[in-house]
Amino acid sequence: MINTQKYKVFVSYHHANDEDDKIKFVELFSDMLDGFIDNSVWDGNIDDTNLSAEQIYKKIRDEYIKDSTVTIVLIGKETWKRKHIDWEIATSLVNGSKNKRNGLIGILLPSRDDYSKVNYDKCTIPPRLHDNVTCGYAKVYDWSYDVDFIKQIIHEAFNRRFTINTDNSRSRIKNNKKDILKSWC
């Protein structure tokens, strides 16, 4: 039986490269959710020169990810390089006073060369996402058009929030990675 509960979902993605896939995802699945929270952080949205790292993460959590219960990371070719995606994942994993931690899912976009989950390269997904796949808190899936499948994986991610501990121990990325680097591991 497919779960009919609706969730508020925060979608994290690389704005410059994956905007079209994010729009397609929201169009396909927005009816089944209580709402998509489309407040991903763009470069320049937060003046990080005047704030401490903790203030930035709190700002992302309280102003961008607020009210969501599951974070979906749309994983394109260069998603792993983006500091704001790392920050969005990191703050999604925090049990704060205003917001509880989110469930976490990665979805491999069709634009990736290794789009199939069977053979994706763990070194080219966001490192913090990989840490949480390793500990069992998060899962990575192939892109799907199946509404029932997406409902099910969101529901499972929501439930893992209460039964599995996160791994948020990695140092936060301070700068976007350069193109010359092939991976983080």
Tens of pLDDT, residue by residue, the chain (185 residues): 455 677 888 899 988 888 888 888 888 887 766 666 666 666 677 776 788 877 877 788 888 888 889 999 999 988 988 888 998 999 999 887 777 899 999 999 988 766 566 567 788 899 999 999 999 999 999 999 898 899 899 999 999 998 999 999 999 888 878 765 566 77
Task: Select from 134, 8, 167, 142 the least CA-distant residue to 74.
Answer: 142
pLDDT at 45: 76
Instruction: Give every CB contact of residue 185 below 8 A, 6+ residues apart in sequence.
Output: 122, 123, 127, 130
In this structure, the number of other CB atoms found within 10 A of the CB of residue 56 comes to 19
Residues 89, 148, 123, 115: is their CA dihedral positive or negative? negative
Tell me if residue 12 falls in helix, strand or coil.
strand
Q: Residue 60: phi, psi to the nearest 5?
A: -60, -45
* The domain defined by 8-160 carries CATH number 2.60.40: no
| Amino acid identity for residue 68 in this structure | S
